[in-house]
Structure 1
Amino acid sequence: MNSQDEQVKEIKSPFKRYIIIAGIMILIVLILYFSKFGFYKLSSNQGDWGTFGDFVGGSLNPLLAFLSLIALLTTIKIQTQELSETRKEIRASSRALQDQSESAKLQIFENTFFKMIDVHNSIVLNLSLKKFNVSKYVDNKFMVKFIDNFIELERNEDSKDRDTIRQLHDICKSYTKLNLFSKEAQYEKFYNYYEDKISNYYGFIYQILKFIKDEEDNNQDFKSKKYVYLFRSLFSKSELTLLAYHCLSKIGRKKFKSLLEHFEFFEHLPIKYLDDNLISKFDKNIFGKSDKWKKYLENKQNKFKDEYATT
């Protein structure tokens, strides 16, 4: 027996009792009447029937009226319970539909997110870089001509996929080191030189982070950090450092930099990979809740206060 059948049975049950009670009342009244006045043949006298009717009506009408009132109140109570159950079912159905809708939205987001991750990996796998024609070889290091100067490299060889990023990082770091006070300008020269290779790489990283941020803005219950952490885990330390340079140039500082800061993207990047000139340009949020970064930044701030106090 299903729940609907049980509800029908519960509704019918009290009314069966009321019918039985009404029958018993009628029977009791008839028994009282006949036990008092005895059983006679059907009278042809209207007065006898009037007396009998008055007795039965006067006895049963109040009782049956009271019983009808009880039945009416029972009906109202049952209808109230049914309405309450209906409202509960509607709320439950609404919650279920909402949960299904949220689940469907999350599934659509995740499908798109992981497809974007695949595209990002494909972009990285297609990266490549040819080695420089060596100009000098001094102290086990390669001195190569790059743009408008010579730079020093630990290695000089053809590179592919993620190894290309490491080589680009080494080139960028060596080239920007030539001018400590104009790293942004030096980086922009570096970017222009390799734009055909890395513009798509940077652009798609930005699109993935923007995609996560848009979902976060549109859904208060969305847990963006787990997707950011998953994406960030794909980056080597060299990639994160190269991102730091990129986001401080005019190319990336307008929108890209704020996304990295919002998602605490450099939380696990070792301090030695960024010099003070780069670190000072970022909001401290980019280093997240890392105790090492927190201690380092506090020491730098205290040192600056001490130097300012002595001047």
Structure 2
Amino acid sequence: MEEKRKYKLYQLLIIVASIIGVWGFINPILIGWIFKDKEGYGTYKEFGPVGDWIGGTSTPIITLASFIILLAAFLAQKEELQATRDEMNLTRKEFKEQNKTLARQRFENTFFHMVSLHHSIVNSIERTETESHSVSYTESQYTSKIIRGRAYISNIARPLVSSKWSDVSQLWSLKQQYNNIYQENQSELGHYFRNLYHIIKLIDESAELENDSDCELEERKKYIRIIRAQLSTDELLLLLYNSLTDEGSKFHTLIIKYKLLNNLSVKLVPKALRDVFVSMKQE
């Protein structure tokens, strides 16, 4: 509405200035035509005094017209500068949004690539187990079985949920049991935990994700929920144990910050470890 008013004023000033300018130029001719045949003014030579009067009256009119045109030009230039400024602000805003979109796309490409790598790591984990079967009293037959992927993880997590870990006093023994399992499977589990840690660290440190003052981690938690949905119960259980070791101390802080074990039911955690689990505020 304000721009329309400026535009109408600009038009009005041009019209008024044009009318005044034309009036200023035809004013001497009009007066000469009116008084030419009057008594005492037979020729134009006798118009000297009248000419002085016309000059005195026309000059202010033309000056006024010039001032109005100058004012109209100023308003038009001001309006043009404002339009240019608004266009530059809009362009800057669009450029900023475009950069933000590109940055988000770069982050998501990296994130989903690492999630895909996580699945590849899980699927590539394998171990060959040998089972013996008695053929006779003196002879046994041995067969090999390959356990891979999440079945492998479930297999090594099974001793950690045994009902024998039912007392808090057994916590040290339980941790030692996990350390033994980790040392036996370090080449597989080490790679697995490192990649998972770097995924969470990417989310935590990425400058492409905004923080909201009222809900500081909401933007990042959206991606945390995606990776958390990829983890099985046994993976979450191993992640809990690993976070209590020296190797997993850095991961421990991020696990608490983003409630990464939120999908792990406290009922599945051995009683010897439940107090520690609850203190991590995962429930």
Give me the TM-score of the superposition, normalised by structure 2: 0.78
Which residue of 2 is the match for residue 309 of structure 1?
Answer: none
Q: Residue deviations 1:43-88, cap 9 Å, x none?
A: 4x4xx35324312211111112222222222222222212211111
CA distance in 1, matches of 2:224, 2:109: 15
Correspondence 1:78-117 to 2 at 5 A:
78-117=76-115
Deviating more after overlay: 231-240 vs 275-284:
275-284
Which residue of 2 is the match for residue 270 of structure 1?
Answer: 265
Contact 1:240–1:269 (CA under 8 A) maintained in structure 2:
yes
* Structure 2 segments unaligned to the other structure (5+ residues): 1-6, 134-143, 213-217
Matched, 1:159 2:147: yes
What is the CA-CA distance between 1:212 and the residue it aligns to? 0.7
CA 175–125 in structure 1, closer or farther in 2 if over 3 Å, else same: farther
What is the CA-CA distance between 1:177 and the residue it aligns to? 3.4
What is the CA-CA distance between 1:285 and the residue it aligns to? 6.0
What is the CA-CA distance between 1:231 and the residue it aligns to? 0.8
What is the CA-CA distance between 1:271 and the residue it aligns to? 1.9
CA distance in 1, matches of 2:113, 2:100: 20
What is the CA-CA distance between 1:112 and the residue it aligns to? 0.7
Which residue of 1 is the match for residue 215 of structure 2?
Answer: none
Contact 2:123–2:148 (CA under 8 A) maintained in structure 1:
yes
Which residue of 1 is the match for residue 73 of structure 2?
Answer: 75
Contact 1:209–1:228 (CA under 8 A) maintained in structure 2:
yes
Correspondence 1:228-267 to 2 at 5 A:
228-252=224-248, 254-267=249-262
Matched, 1:204 2:195: yes
Correspondence 1:159-238 to 2 at 5 A:
159-174=147-162, 177=165, 180-182=170-172, 183-215=174-206, 219-220=210-211, 223-238=219-234
Which residue of 2 is the match for residue 32 of structure 1?
Answer: 31
% identical equivalent positions = 25
Quick one: higher RCO (CA 8 Å, sep 6+), 1 or 2?
Answer: 2
Amino acid at match of 2:246: K
CA distance in 1, matches of 2:85, 2:262: 49
CA distance in 1, matches of 2:211, 2:112: 21
CA 114–218 in structure 1, closer or farther in 2 if over 3 Å, else same: closer
Give me the TM-score of the superposition, normalised by structure 1: 0.72
What is the CA-CA distance between 1:233 and the residue it aligns to? 0.6
Amino acid at match of 2:186: E
Amino acid at match of 2:265: P
CA distance in 1, matches of 2:170, 2:208: 38
Q: Residue deviations 1:6-39, cap 9 Å, x none?
A: xx9x978854662343113432453234313438
CA distance in 2, matches of 1:248, 1:263: 16
